[in-house]
């Protein structure tokens, strides 16, 4: 195992992590933006008003994206296990 291989492997894992987290982060961002606009219009500055809708949006997004996320993680892990003989050479 060369240092280049380890760096490439870590990069691949980080890219996959970012790729899988983007839908949830995007939904949280959109929910936060909508709530911020609502708070600015109504001048209601309640902290739980921002927290609860974001959590609900992220959980709903996770509910729908979980099968896709699981498939991506399984493909990545399968690829790692299948290529173990090539890694130790």
Domain count along the chain: 1
Q: Is residue 11 part of a domain?
A: no
CB atoms within 10 A of CB 12: 13
Spatial contact of 43 and 21, defined as CB atoms under 8 Å apart: no
Q: Is residue 14 part of a domain?
A: no
Residue 49: pLDDT band (50, 70, 90) is confident
Q: Is residue 49 part of a domain?
A: yes
Q: Is residue 2 part of a domain?
A: no
Q: Is residue 9 part of a domain?
A: no
The mean pLDDT value for 73-84 works out to: 93
Taking alpha carbons only, the member of 60, 20, 58, 61 closest to residue 50 is: 58
**What are the residue ranges of helices labelled H in 1-89?**
3-42, 47-82, 84-87
Q: Is residue 38 part of a domain?
A: yes
What is the per-residue pLDDT for 19?
A: 94
Q: ∠ at Cα 37 (36, 41), nearest 5°?
A: 115
- The pTM of this model reads 0.77
Q: Is residue 79 part of a domain?
A: yes
Q: Is residue 5 part of a domain?
A: no
Range of the structural domain that residue 33 is part of: 20-87
């Amino acid at each position: 195992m060369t240092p280049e291989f380890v760096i490439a492997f870590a990069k691949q894992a980080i890219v996959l992590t970012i790729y899988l987290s983007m839908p949830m982060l995007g939904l949280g961002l959109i929910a936060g933006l909508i709530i911020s606009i609502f708070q600015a219009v109504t001048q209601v500055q309640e902290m739980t008003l921002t927290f609860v809708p974001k959590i609900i949006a992220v959980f709903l997004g996770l509910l729908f994206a979980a099968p896709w996320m699981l498939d991506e993680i399984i493909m990545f892990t399968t690829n790692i296990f299948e290529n173990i003989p090539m890694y130790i050479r």
